[in-house]
Amino acid sequence: NAGVTQTPKFQVLKTGQSMTLQCAQDMNHEYMSWYRQDPGMGLRLIHYSVGAGITDQGEVPNGYNVSRSTTEDFPLRLLSAAPSQTSVYFCASRRANYGYTFGSGTRLTVV
Amino acid sequence: SQQGEEDPQALSIQEGENATMNCSYKTSINNLQWYRQNSGRGLVHLILIRSNEREKHSGRLRVTLDTSKKSSSLLITASRAADTASYFCATDEGYNFNKFYFGSGTKLNVKP
């Protein structure tokens, strides 16, 4: 039982490049979310999903796309990377009325 | 947004002492959660308390919820050096229990 797996753990992008952060969970959780955490700050919600085929925006969705074609996978796409997107990205999943299980994060630097 | 605010931002105590941190939020909620984050790691879920509950315990952790004041507190009794971490509260939006917002956290340092 791996929990929530995020790949890659570290990534450096050049401004304007695109990439996909991968997130997979093996707990059959309905709900999945992406958060970003900037240094010394809390987490801000980017996008979330309540089940396969259903996604919605969080607080800071601009510049990011998501899709949820299966219960297990919830990839986050950066469309055109900007230095302001330098952050640590966390994927999390949960079932109804329970807390989140978080992945270990992807540390992204945009230069 | 609904983002909660923790207080204090930082707390330094001796091992064996109790640590109390507070969370305030803006709108009605369905439930409130507390998480711990060790430096450089992901968050770990500690406790979930529902809006119709006033108090919940888990080991050395005690969480209270006052919906009339829109606030919650997390008490860690008999702190240990291993409790050194940042602690975050997370709240939903009440009408939308699928979106959870996190505060900026309380950084707890427990000195041995």
- Pairs from A55-60 (Cβ < 8 Å, separation ≥ 24): A56/B98, A56/B99, A58/A33, A58/A34, A58/B99, A59/B1, A59/B3, A59/B101, A60/A36
Please check whether residue A74 touches B, CB under 8 A: no
Predicted local distance difference test score (pLDDT) of residue B74:
98
| pLDDT at A1 exceeding the cut of 90 | no
Mean pLDDT over the full length of chain B: 93
Nearest-Cα residue of chain A relative to residue B38: A104
Confidence of residue B4 (pLDDT cuts 50, 70, 90): confident
| pLDDT at B51 exceeding the cut of 80 | yes
Predicted local distance difference test score (pLDDT) of residue B2:
61
Which of A10, A30, A36, A45 is the best substitution to test chain B (most B C-beta atoms within 10 A)?
A: A45
Predicted local distance difference test score (pLDDT) of residue A38:
92
Q: Residues of A numbered 82-101 whose beta carbons fall under 8 angstroms of chain B's beta carbons: which are they? A: 90, 92, 97-101
Confidence of residue B72 (pLDDT cuts 50, 70, 90): very high
Predicted local distance difference test score (pLDDT) of residue A74:
98
Predicted local distance difference test score (pLDDT) of residue A95:
92
Please check whether residue B44 touches A, CB under 8 A: yes
Predicted local distance difference test score (pLDDT) of residue A82:
97
**pLDDT of B20-39, one tens digit each?**
999 999 988 999 999 999 98
Instruction: Give contacts of A92 with chain B, Cβ < 8 Å.
Output: 43
CA distances from B19 to A40, B22, B52, B108 (A): 20, 10, 25, 8
Q: Which residue stretches of A3-96 are H helix?
A: none
| pLDDT at B1 exceeding the cut of 70 | no
Confidence of residue B99 (pLDDT cuts 50, 70, 90): confident
**pLDDT of A17-75, one tens digit each?**
999 999 999 999 999 999 999 987 789 999 999 999 999 999 999 999 999 999 999 99
